[in-house]
A = this chain, B = another copy of it.
Amino acid sequence: MVIDELRAALGQKVSVNDTIREHHSKDESFHTPTLPDAVVFATCTQDVATTLRICNNNKTPVVAWGAGTSLEGNSTPIHGGVSLDLSQMDKILRVSGEDLDCTIQPGVRRKQLNEYLSKHGLFFPVDPGADATLGGMASTGASGTTTVKYGAMKQLVMSLTVVTANGEVITTSRRARKTSAGYDLTHLFVGSEGTLGVITELTLRVFGIPEVIAAATMQFDSVRNAVDGVIEVIQLGIGVARIELVDRQAVLAVNRYSQTELPEKDLLLLEFHGSAESTAIEIAEAKEVLGRYGGDNFLQTTDEAERRKLWQARHDAGLACRSHQPNGRIFSTDVCVPISKLSECIEQTQQDLADSKMYGPIVGHVGDGNFHVLLTADPNDHAAIEKLEDFHTRLVERSLSLEGTCTGEHGIGIGKIGYLISELGREAVDVMATIKLALDPNGIMNPGKIIADSVLQ
């Protein structure tokens, strides 16, 4: 009946084709796929409003869909209903070099945006690795390798157009660089994973492409030395644009996979953005500091092709570490701790992996205190998944005991829903539930994500 109503209003934009439904049943993670009853391909804000109004009247779940690159089942329609596909809303609506901002539709992908912006001498820095949609990145609260300098989605989304559960269209903020006008609705929707509303337009901060991009790598005898060096680099305000760790285990995997011959040590990769002078100064300062922590084998370049080669280990790490399990899908871990606790957290995690006889190479956005253990799981191997879940629980508990979070950038989705109360306390989650119930009284917006059903009842 809902599907009939949707069809009457939206015609060919509604599909119940099996292949299309199957495509919208899962993300990149190991979580169990579940089919939506229908997929709506929205082409404008009004389509989204129409869909939500009809679904709200019928108490039918609506799960927004971008590129399907999420890692915690964030866009999986676990209660069926409508998968609201925004990928056709992929227009870049305006770009301003003077104001350093742009306004885009939610289905625009990261690489598409940067290709377009580059013609204006601009770029959008958030780089989560995957070629995700910007709507999805905002909804997940994504970040990535450049967050240490430019900030995460949270810092770079200036304003959103959002359709709420009842089909109302709101704009969360003006285009001014800052405002204190009322509650910060922008930040309420960023990271809310489609559980409060559907983003149909985003205004984002952008930056001028730096005159010079300088890359460097250094090797260390221990994660602790590498991380302690990073702490001092950041404390001194040396303006690194990226500072990434690839641990020894991950370096070994890359050497195997990519036929490289990197020294079998913990690897730090750095990038600096600025003028020729400023990057030269920063790179020399960073080299000096990191050298005092035992960093050696220093390499640097400003040439684009060489830069890619120098950073190859970071780009290949994910595939390399997951290549040993061809049927495996990603089992995401994403803890983030205060940087002073980072080496402790990584060392204890490596010990846990050794004790558990588990293969778990590590890459980390060390400037932010965020790291991923690159695990894979065969979705049908329940014993293996149980073992991974146990390891993950210990990892999250370790992070929480070190004042950290269970998720730095992937979101709660379904995979971390059990940890939210441990992390923030029942009272804080109750406040979230109060907001959720007030804005989505029929519980149609991506049900079963972020806040457990038991809390909402």
Q: What residues of chain A have their CB less than 8 Å away from a CB belonging to chain B?
A: 96-101, 140-143, 147, 151-152, 154-155, 164, 168-188, 190-192, 196, 207-208, 210, 231, 234-237, 274-275, 277-278, 281, 285, 334, 336-340, 368-370, 399-400, 403-412, 416, 419-420, 423-425, 427-432, 434-439, 450-451
Contact = CB atoms under 8 A, between A and B. Distances in A.
A168 B427 contact: yes
Contact of A451 (B182, B429, B437): B182
A281 B403 CA distance: 39
Contact of A176 (B97, B337, B411, B419): B337
A420 B171 CA distance: 12
Q: How many copies does the complex hold?
A: 2
A25 to B, nearest CB: 23
A235 B209 CA distance: 10
B431 A170 contact: yes
Contact of A404 (B174, B210, B278, B400): B174
A170 B98 CA distance: 41
Residue among A208, A409, A423, A439 facing the most chain B CB atoms (10 A cut-off): A423
A336 B179 contact: yes
Contacts of A178: 143, 147, 152, 154, 336, 368-370, 408-409
A403 B168 contact: no
A98 B430 CA distance: 33
Q: By CB atoms of chain B within 10 A, which of A140, A336, A412 has the most?
A: A336
List the 10 closest pairs (A to B, CB-CB), nearest first.
A187-B187, A141-B180, A438-B438, A98-B340, A179-B405, A170-B428, A176-B336, A175-B403, A99-B338, A184-B187
A79 B187 CA distance: 30
A451 B97 CA distance: 35
Nearest to A232: B98
Contact of A403 (B152, B176, B186, B234): B176
B439 A181 contact: no
A370 to B, nearest CB: 7
A423 B171 CA distance: 10
Residue with the greatest number of chain B CB neighbours at <10 A, chosen from A141, A234, A278, A423: A278
A181 B412 contact: yes
A425 B181 contact: no
Contact of A278 (B179, B278, B410, B439): B278
A211 to B, nearest CB: 8
Nearest to A420: B182
A144 to B, nearest CB: 10
B97 A181 contact: no
Nearest to A164: B431
B208 A174 contact: no
Contacts of A437: 438
Given A404-B176, A437-B438, A98 B235 contact: yes
Given A169-B427, A170-B427, A208 B236 contact: yes
Contacts of A99: 338-340
A435 B180 contact: no
A253 B99 CA distance: 31
A429 to B, nearest CB: 7
A274 B429 CA distance: 41
A231 B425 contact: no
A192 to B, nearest CB: 6
In this complex, the member of A192, A207, A409, A424 whose beta carbon has the largest number of chain B beta carbons within 10 angstroms is A424
Nearest to A177: B368
A325 B180 CA distance: 28
Contacts of A179: 141, 336, 405, 407-408
A414 to B, nearest CB: 13
9 contacts: A96-B338, A141-B184, A168-B427, A169-B427, A175-B404, A176-B369, A176-B408, A184-B184, A277-B281
A174 B403 contact: yes
A424 B168 contact: no
